Structure 1
């Protein structure tokens, strides 16, 4: 079997094991057994448990970012900015639902075990946030030639939206019957009504 295929099998087994048991509880013996290989072979190909977990985080993070980008690119040419954001959110929730072990590795396991794992997840989140920042900025320019909110507002809104999507994905994965489109619609109803007003120059302010 080619090395790349064998490594893919071991990585798949590692993501499943880490996602379901957690980093501390998962053992290289269990990963090797699930992959159908010997434990020395896992160490030969993927070195230490820490390096294997780091590789899993990077792979799952890259796959998530690619899924969101692809979802937007599929509609970018013919759809307005809000539909592009809808497509990206739907792709995000579809991917996290279809890869629950990978999402567990990213959202639960990696963040709770310190460095270097938390830093790897932070890089994935930063990439997603930068992409969403571009989408919101484009939506603002589309809605108004001279939008009344600046780069700092756009960056803050993107941070809030990505954080909400992460929390909502956890809820959706744990709640039977919640589809990717339903989760995306929930977030659009929560966020886009406010964004739409903001882009029209209508800001909320506390009562005087």
Structure 2
């Protein structure tokens, strides 16, 4: 009897293998240095098959960015447990974020480093992912303010600014944790909670930090003149 035919792998499964290999190579090499030959070899397929499935290097990279952006966003959303108090929700979301980035370092480099610097098309896809996460964090902070009762109506721009600051800090800390040996996802999340919640907790309970009273700065001299009280400028005579 002749040998039976090898069962063909479903296209969707094969494509995910290609994307897995591409994320690893793009993450470690960057877009420009990544080789389609190397990606095909790591995926266990021929280079023509990679082009058949994913058209071009640009399209392959774009597919990687979209998949990993979706995966990170889903991980953060799924990590937040709605029944917890505000600090517990933020903690669970940060744990989910840092756990995902720690487990997928190549994907994080693709999103946070390579996609942002390679071209507008890819940067826009990452910006959309980031905007989604910022909007989600904005909702968490607004809900926390409502639950705190004392600050049920924080100004919209203040909530948006806090969310931007928190997400930016998380991104920087993920880079630091990935480059620092021995730092766990739990430790990274705890670091950011210690940094952020001390201030957020006071804000929610009506104890915001207030800038000290300071005198108004003197007006700057106008070109060719000297500043005087009241803001008027007088000509400066040449010596």
Work out which of the residue numbers 21, 31, 35 in structure 1 matches 2:43: 35
Q: Distance in 2 between matches of 1:92 and 1:37?
A: 32
Unaligned runs of 5+ in 2: 1-8, 214-239
Residues 151, 205 of structure 2: 8 Å contact kept: no
Residue-by-residue CA offset, 1:118-154 (whole Å, 9 max, x unaligned): 0010000001001100101111101125435211111
Structure possessing the higher radius of gyration over alpha carbons: 2
1:55 matched to 2:60? The reply is: no
Moved more, 98-107 or 147-156: 147-156
Q: Is the 8 A contact 2:150 2:204 kept in 1?
A: no
- Give the TM-score taking structure 2 as reference length: 0.84
Among 199, 203, 207, which residue is 1:202 paired with? 207
CA distance in 2, matches of 1:71, 1:52: 29
Structure 2 equivalent of residue 65 of structure 1:
73
* 1:85-134 alpha-carbon deviations (Å, 9 max, x no partner): 10000000000000000001001100111210100100000010011001
* Aligned-residue RMSD, C-alpha: 1.0
**Residue aligning to 2:117:** 112
Matched, 1:19 2:27: yes
> 1:138 maps to which residue?
143
The 8 Å contact of residues 22 and 39 in structure 2, kept in 1 or not, is answered as: yes
Residue pair 2:151, 2:206 contacting (<8 A) in 1 also: no
Runs of 4+ in 1 over 2 A off after TM superposition: 145-149
- Report if aligned partners of 1:148, 1:199 keep a CA contact under 8 Å in 2: no
Partners of 1:168 and 1:145 in 2: CA distance: 31
1:80-159 matches, cutoff 5 A: 80-144=85-149, 146-147=151-152, 149-159=154-164
| C-alpha separation in 2, matches of 1:66 and 1:22 | 25
Q: Give CA-to-partner distance per residue, 1:156-189, whole Å, 9 cap, x none.
A: 1001000000000010011111111111110011
Bigger mean CA offset, 90-99 vs 191-200: 191-200
Structure having the larger proportion of residues in helix: 1
Aligned residue pair count: 205
